[in-house]
Structure 1
Amino acid sequence: MAQDISSVPFGATIVEPPSGEAIPTTIKLTDVEKKLRILLLDVAEFIDGMTPVSDSVKAPEDSLDETPVPDPSNEDEKVKPELAGQRIVLRFTGGWVRDKLLGVGSHDIDVAINKMTGLEFGLKLKEYLELPGHAQQYGLVPAGKEDGKSSGKDKSRKVAPGLYKIEANPEKSKHLETITTNILGLDIDFVNLRKETYTEDSRNPQMEFGTPEEDALRRDATINAMFYNLNTSKIEDFTRRGFEDMGRKIIRTPLDPYQTFKDDPLRVLRLIRFASRLNYTIDDLSQNAMANEEILKALKVKISRERVGIEIDKMLKGPDPCTALRLIDSLGLYNTIFTDPTRELEYNPNLEKFSEVYTAVRDISQNIPDIPLIISKTLLRNPDEQYLAWICASLIPWADAPMVPNSKPNQRPHYAATLVAREGLKAPNRISDVVTGSLRDAEEIGKLVDQCHRQIKWPTTNRVGLDATARDTLGMAIRRWGPTWRSQVWFTLLHELFQETLGSESHQRIYEKYAIFLEQLTKHDVLDAYAFKPLLTGKDLARALNTDPGSWMKDALDVVMEWQLANPGITDPSAAIEAVKVHKAETLHKAATAEQAGGAEKGAKPEETKKNRELPSRLATHFLQLTIRPLFSQNKPHPTLTPAGHASALPKDGKARFPEDTSDAPWKDPKQGHAIELLRWVLSVLGTKGVETNWGLLIPPILKLMDDISLKWKAVGCEMLTLLLKSTPPALLKRTGLGNVFEESLWPLFTYLPNLTEEKESAALLDEVFPALRALADAMYPPSKPTDQTSSSTPREKFLDKILREGILAPTFHAPPSTYPHLATILLKHLPSLQQAMGIDSVKHLQSLIPLLANILSEPLAPAYPPLMVVAAKGAQGCVLNAWPRISVHRGDILKGLTVSWIRVEEEKAKEVDGERQGELEGIMKELKTCVGMLDAVLNGVEDVKWEDEKRELIGADERLRGLFEENGE
């Protein structure tokens, strides 16, 4: 039996008893609690009209005169006549008394008043402290600060900062109306002693002033029904069982448990919370009542979900959440508590293995030897993560529930577990977000953990797909999952335990693979990868790629971060910028050549070269897949192309194919202008391996551009094709069969000539067609070694011949240079490089080329357009350089063009011309003299040609030609 506590002395020392010893029978107040007690008693005497005890620090036993308190006639709750003449008696109630007896400090105190409402007493408290000198007397305001101008930095010295009235809500079983304030750093609730009277026709009680015993009997548990009388400094146990139950570590209700829970169903959860917090046992009668169907229904319907959530929150933040979930599980309360009351959820959670989940959480939290320590060390680092761990555990039974349709149209469906957290527990958004993220990423997390475990456990096994052990793979996963990744990984771990059916051995295997995964994260130092800053900003990247900023940057920066994670030693932003800058075509060609030869760039270490190319390669693949392909995929597929980028094997239907209308194509949208620049950049940085890997992504946009009805986009397509072919291995082009497809797209472009096509547009297009055809020739028919050449024409020779005939001779015939000098200039600009590629085989074209060039040079109005004369002179040089064995036969026509052109330029120079014009004319003369110099080198060695005599004869005929011949002849 409990000891007699009727004579407990004020200020007796409290000591927490060892296990098995009796609960102490005394309470020792702290200094702050002593000061609060005196303040409250002084307020009581102030109300009763007596001199405050603090004047002489009187003991509470001193006699006090009694005067009646004003009748609170304006209150709903009436003071009983027998209370009207009593002095005010104050008591600390409930949890504070229990905790003090257990040696646990508390900052929350409920103060019960015998004859006043909490609101009345609170207002009197405020009135009392506002009297001069009173607040300072209790240390609530520093000396000299009574005017209310104190800094307020010390919460414990504030003067009752505010009185907050919490309304009663009988419909939700919140019967007590309380007044809340903060004094001396303590949260104080004032409420009168209550008696609850229930009627048969109402589930809501009639509240009235009650006696201490009546107030104690209406409470949730005997251990919470003891009072500390401030007037007598004695502990009062009006249930006669509170102190005894504490000694026996039992939780029971003061009255019949069924009626207690029916009156306020939330008491079911409160008792579970106290049992888990105090390590007490709920008595059998109470447990039976808790599982009663009527109580469960009342708990689900009658109690606000906010109050339910608060109790669950306190349980899971308490010292033993496992016991709380075990009681909820064993008493059949799960479906009542963890549900969404706003809708009917058809899914019925399977609780068969729920106990294994919360037991596992307890075992991991307690670091039992069989479970790798790194799991708790990494995933349960602090109280908040431990709390989230229990939240996840409590919702695991809902993890396999089907998605719940969203009532709003075109909105994503809900995860059932998220609804349970948000609507059933009224959890804050951050909790709901963790649950949603855990379910959203669960499949990816589980797959990555499995792959990482498998690749580390069996490293010699052939890997398929990504390297799940690599720093960039793991780091980017952490970034995708975000700051709450630990809770998400934890959720997935628990879900696997919940689904496992093979017992403890399987549990150990799950622990092992998650431990290996976490060890790998720790090894690579990517636990905080979600907070890593990219070396480049979006603007930095846009400048390096020579394109406009846009929405594409966000995902592109992820690629930069992935590269950054793979190369942790690179910390200088300039290194990343240099890695993605577009280089000159010559540099790219050299790099590609070196790559094909298996070597590295000159002057660069192999590992540096690899790193420098790795970032552009990653970005290129990203842009092709996520930026470029979506913009071009909306158009119809190319009829001669398979999805893999091969020539289609389907027979042609023979019908003419007209260009589709692409006026509304996404890639033509000015807002998507970056797409073309990015495609240009991609083609400029991909080497042969990159082209082969991304072949199926590269071909469709290029052919779309070339087939567009607009000549502008056709030209862009040809430019892109040239960049592609420069890095295309001949074997790849042959294997895919696309060489002929490219030919069929390129040759018809030479028909876009004046006057059906404007000269400017025609020139711009054909200026890109020539390089594309040259690159196609090199890719389809690589140059042969001299020893491999035969007397018959090779496919390469035939292809180059066709370029010259259809690309230069035919267009200049249909569009005469004299009429369309700009177009002729563009065409002839490409002649020297074509002649060089043909070599000696260009001899066969001398009969057509030399008259064309000679006529251009000797045209009377030719000096009016100097660029055309320059390219014509360079074309003549190409004839001499590559077809020199037969030049002597055609020297007459060549000399005609050179001499006539020289004289016309001299005549033009004799006129008054400006400096720019003078420079253009001198440029023409320079190229003419160069051509004569080449003739000197060829013809001076020909026996039947008297070259020097011929020159002298021409000089004799016109002295102005001396400047053309003599300097080269002497």
Structure 2
Amino acid sequence: MSGNYFGLSSVLQKLEIPPDFTRYEEITEASTIVALDLWKQGVVQTLNELLAILRSTGESKLTVKDQGDIAFLCVPFEGICPWNDATQGGQSDSWVPVESMPIAKSILVLLPFSCSLQALVSQILTQNLRPIFRANPHPHLHTATGRKMGKPVGGHLAMQDYYEDQRWKKYPGIGSVVFWCVQNLESEAYENIWHLIIPPVMALLDDYEARYKLQGVEIVQELLRHVPKGLLRRTGVDGLLRQSLKNSLSNLQSPESPQLLRSAISASVNLTLLTTTVPPAGKPSSDRFDQLSSLLGEGIITGIWLYAEDKPVVVTATFDALPPLLEALGIGSARFLQALVPQLTHALIPRPLVDRDVQMQLSAIRVLETLMDVCKPRMKSWSETMLDGIGRCWVGLYDEEQRDATVNSEKRPKYLQGRDEVKRRLPKLCSKLIRVCPDIMQNYIPRFMEADRTLFQGLFIDVDS
């Protein structure tokens, strides 16, 4: 089919996202904002026109190139990428009208015509994405093979030069297209088109802007669900990914930082689990232990917590990501108890003149529960510290409720719901601690009851259950 057939070419041209949308939040020129908003208002009508064309066109009339162009232009309007997920702190892209999402999805559901999905993905990678990213090759990648280079092309200043001319940033939504390709590639297809998929992934992952780095991390998360582990090791890309994910953990100042840290820690754990082995005896390899230990010790404890005391959302993000990492380390987590337990219990203890951070407290409780599961033999030494933090948190909740009962409180419903959840979880956490460290029942519980039975009986209500 010719691109001009049924007006397809002109419709697709209207769907090309203006490059200025990449800096939409920074634009101050009124005329530019008006022009972008006018373009955005026409997107829904244009997508409906395209959908009508596809529904009225026979399969044989659409070439693979036509379908590749359609998918390349429509995917950015579908809004299904993790960085657009509001529940994870993401937001919709500035060029996407809410009404456009179901229409774009309806268009993509119709594809491919008369070819396989793998052929369509290959078409997009070869003809749509490759020309854009080829203009700015990654200094650590051999572009013809997708393998790691022994030495970066351009020497020690290669990455600085790499950031000079980034043509791909003139294509808003290009990260969504890369994600869609990774998501729709079958595992056995990666071997043949590895050199096409990994350059755009690394371009996003290694970018200096947090929003693009976040897209790269989320794409890596999806990549690890599909790519054969042998391919990662054989090409040396596992090491590149590991270092790039580690670099992502230093981003603490951006609005994207919480979501970026959660995803980067999760991707690092998944990468290690995929590319390291567990022998038949069941004991993890030294590589696995070393990589996970480095992630927790150097990446989180000394790399983030040391610099994020005044950034509670950043600390909470690391708490959110810790349980899978601790489960992967198992009893090996015990070597970090001296740093973990004080940090987590500190999050539970109320501080004068500082509002309670219920989301941080809920995350801390989940991590403490995981610690007790994986480090049960070593928890006795920390039982008093944990019980002290739990008790102080309980007293703080009681005092806050008493103040709210006497003062006209205007606390937000979401906060009150979170506070109630903390109050519900603390007795269960306390009960679990007593099961792990039975000595608490005899050595500490009586002291709490003697101090104030009315106050503390609710905290120990689950002890015998």
Taking structure 2 as the reference length, the TM-score comes to 0.71
Equivalent residue in structure 1 for 2:166, among 656, 665, 670 = 665
Give the match for residue 619 of structure 1: 120
Give the match for residue 881 of structure 1: 373
State how far apart, in whole Å, the 2-side matches of 1:637 and 1:854 are: 44
State how far apart, in whole Å, the 1-side matches of 2:61 and 2:341 are: 64
State how far apart, in whole Å, the 1-side matches of 2:4 and 2:249 are: 55
Q: Measured at CA, do residues 785 and 859 of structure 1 come closer, stay the same or move farther in structure 2, by a change above 3 Å?
A: farther
How far is 1:804 from its partner? 0.7
Equivalent residue in structure 2 for 1:766, among 254, 261, 267 = 261
How far is 1:480 from its partner? 7.6
- 1:435-461, CA deviations, whole angstroms, 9 ceiling, x for partnerless residues? xxxxxxxxxxxxxxxxxxxxxxxxxxx
Q: Say whether residues 1:900 and 2:401 are aligned partners.
A: no
Runs of 4+ in 1 over 6 A off after TM superposition: 480-483, 535-539, 651-654
Q: Say whether residues 1:548 and 2:46 are aligned partners.
A: no
Equivalent residue in structure 2 for 1:811, among 273, 287, 303 = 303
How far is 1:691 from its partner? 2.1
Equivalent residue in structure 1 for 2:186, among 666, 681, 687 = 687
Q: Measured at CA, do residues 532 and 700 of structure 1 come closer, stay the same or move farther in structure 2, by a change above 3 Å?
A: closer
- 1:297-319, CA deviations, whole angstroms, 9 ceiling, x for partnerless residues? xxxxxxxxxxxxxxxxxxxxxxx
- 1:631-684, CA deviations, whole angstroms, 9 ceiling, x for partnerless residues? 111113423435210112358887354433657633212xx3242211111111
- Determine what percentage of the aligned residue pairs are the same residue: 22
State how far apart, in whole Å, the 1-side matches of 2:398 and 2:110 are: 52
State how far apart, in whole Å, the 2-side matches of 1:889 and 1:927 are: 23
- 1:52-91, CA deviations, whole angstroms, 9 ceiling, x for partnerless residues? xxxxxxxxxxxxxxxxxxxxxxxxxxxxxxxxxxxxxxxx
User: Given that residues 706 and 714 in structure 1 are in contact (C-alpha distance below 8 angstroms), is that contact kept between their aligned partners in structure 2?
Assistant: yes
User: Given that residues 621 and 694 in structure 1 are in contact (C-alpha distance below 8 angstroms), is that contact kept between their aligned partners in structure 2?
Assistant: yes
Structure 2: runs of 5 or more not aligned: 6-56, 79-104
* Correspondence 1:361-440 to 2 at 5 A: none
User: Given that residues 545 and 681 in structure 1 are in contact (C-alpha distance below 8 angstroms), is that contact kept between their aligned partners in structure 2?
Assistant: no
Q: Say whether residues 1:957 and 2:448 are aligned partners.
A: no
Give the match for residue 711 of structure 1: 210
How far is 1:705 from its partner? 1.4
Give the match for residue 823 of structure 1: 314
AA matched with 1:781: T
User: Given that residues 770 and 830 in structure 1 are in contact (C-alpha distance below 8 angstroms), is that contact kept between their aligned partners in structure 2?
Assistant: yes
State how far apart, in whole Å, the 1-side matches of 2:418 and 2:143 are: 51
Equivalent residue in structure 1 for 2:432, among 929, 934, 946 = 934
Q: Measured at CA, do residues 684 and 856 of structure 1 come closer, stay the same or move farther in structure 2, by a change above 3 Å?
A: same
- 1:825-850, CA deviations, whole angstroms, 9 ceiling, x for partnerless residues? 11111001111111222122212211
User: Given that residues 138 and 202 in structure 2 are in contact (C-alpha distance below 8 angstroms), is that contact kept between their aligned partners in structure 1?
Assistant: no
- 1:169-189, CA deviations, whole angstroms, 9 ceiling, x for partnerless residues? xxxxxxxxxxxxxxxxxxxxx
User: Given that residues 866 and 921 in structure 1 are in contact (C-alpha distance below 8 angstroms), is that contact kept between their aligned partners in structure 2?
Assistant: yes
State how far apart, in whole Å, the 2-side matches of 1:738 and 1:859 are: 45
Q: Measured at CA, do residues 773 and 689 of structure 1 come closer, stay the same or move farther in structure 2, by a change above 3 Å?
A: same
Local SS of the residue matching 1:787: coil
Q: Measured at CA, do residues 650 and 748 of structure 1 come closer, stay the same or move farther in structure 2, by a change above 3 Å?
A: closer
Q: Say whether residues 1:798 and 2:297 are aligned partners.
A: no
**When you count helix as a share of all residues, which structure comes out higher?**
2
User: CA RMSD, aligned part only?
Assistant: 3.7
Equivalent residue in structure 1 for 2:272, among 761, 774, 777 = 777
How far is 1:722 from its partner? 1.9
AA matched with 2:146: G
- 1:691-719, CA deviations, whole angstroms, 9 ceiling, x for partnerless residues? 22221111111111122221221221122
How far is 1:947 from its partner? 2.2
Q: How many residues align?
A: 379
* Correspondence 1:414-813 to 2 at 5 A: 532=60, 546-548=75-77, 578=109, 615-650=116-151, 655-660=156-161, 662=163, 665-669=166-170, 672-753=171-252, 758=253, 760-782=255-277, 784=278, 787-789=281-283, 794-813=286-305
Q: Measured at CA, do residues 927 and 638 of structure 1 come closer, stay the same or move farther in structure 2, by a change above 3 Å?
A: farther
State how far apart, in whole Å, the 2-side matches of 1:786 and 1:848 are: 32
State how far apart, in whole Å, the 1-side matches of 2:193 and 2:414 are: 48
Taking structure 1 as the reference length, the TM-score comes to 0.36
* Correspondence 1:182-261 to 2 at 5 A: none
Equivalent residue in structure 2 for 1:867, among 355, 359, 372 = 359
User: Given that residues 936 and 969 in structure 1 are in contact (C-alpha distance below 8 angstroms), is that contact kept between their aligned partners in structure 2?
Assistant: no
Local SS of the residue matching 1:909: helix
State how far apart, in whole Å, the 2-side matches of 1:915 and 1:640 are: 51
Give the match for residue 210 of structure 1: none
* Correspondence 1:90-101 to 2 at 5 A: none
Give the match for residue 417 of structure 1: none
Local SS of the residue matching 1:958: helix
User: Given that residues 909 and 921 in structure 1 are in contact (C-alpha distance below 8 angstroms), is that contact kept between their aligned partners in structure 2?
Assistant: no
State how far apart, in whole Å, the 2-side matches of 1:884 and 1:866 are: 26
State how far apart, in whole Å, the 2-side matches of 1:535 and 1:649 are: 40
State how far apart, in whole Å, the 2-side matches of 1:797 and 1:957 are: 44
State how far apart, in whole Å, the 2-side matches of 1:750 and 1:482 are: 48
State how far apart, in whole Å, the 1-side matches of 2:357 and 2:58 are: 63
Greater C-alpha radius of gyration: 1
